[in-house]
Structure 1
Amino acid sequence: MAEPEESTRPLTTGDLLAAARAGFRRLHPAEAATAITRGARLVDTRPHFQRAADGEIPGAIVIERNHLEWRLDPAGLARIPEATGHDVAWIVLCDEGYSSSLAVASLHRIGLDNATDVIGGFRAWKQADLPVINPGRPTAPRLPGN
């Protein structure tokens, strides 16, 4: 009996997002704010220019997307002190909630199953009138051990 043929159609970004988001429950901004008060850690992955232009969320840990897995992996040498185990509840935030979904899927692959993201990202957070600050200089991204 012949094996069924696999689709050779390339995935679209929509396909990637749908697959990523199927693996976890995303949070509305108000739900994320409540989770933070209960101990979840908010990680802002937006680049410097977006944080400079639009502001920041007080208390958010700034880790640009290209370093995210290395900073949050509790077994990694480049982790931040908050990355104490696989049970930490991480909430990832990008500008609109797209790249954060892909980032969360990647975090799940390294065992961080309590990671999620914010529906609509920073823009939705701000639109929901949740706290935003505009520091004179954007917060520097976190480095290993600090």
Structure 2
Amino acid sequence: MRVLVQSKPFDYGAECAGFGQGGRDVGAVVTFLGVVRDDSGSLARMEIEHYPGMTEKAIAAIADEAKTRWQLADVLVIHRHGTLEPGEAIMMVATAARHRVAAFEAAEFLMDYLKSRAPFWKKEIGPEGTGWVAARDEDETALSRWRPERG
């Protein structure tokens, strides 16, 4: 398992190339690449802040949960911080499992967590100024499907 929080770009193809290889019990590898999106059409850049140490620890804990919950052979999470422009890779998730359903579900779980709970703060900068990216209801809804119902 690897969790990387870094400012420098990463090579998605190179990261994918060797991931999940070599394990005789791996039957599925799922990868996802997140890219900075310009919803408004006027995003100049995004600035992503985090607390070093705390962020890695939080992501590693959720990756450990995914690894146990879906019996994954391997997990990779890379998330960038600093200044990024529209179209740049912001994060990647990779999961390897015995079966495809486990690999897909675990990857979705990790992506939902990263979108709504990982300790990053994102500021969008455009011609009209700057603004912090707020939590979205649909991200909370996506994450809630992974938590057991209480009642």
Query: Which TM-score applies when normalising by structure 2?
Result: 0.27
As a proportion of its length, which structure holds more strand?
2
Query: Which TM-score applies when normalising by structure 1?
Result: 0.28
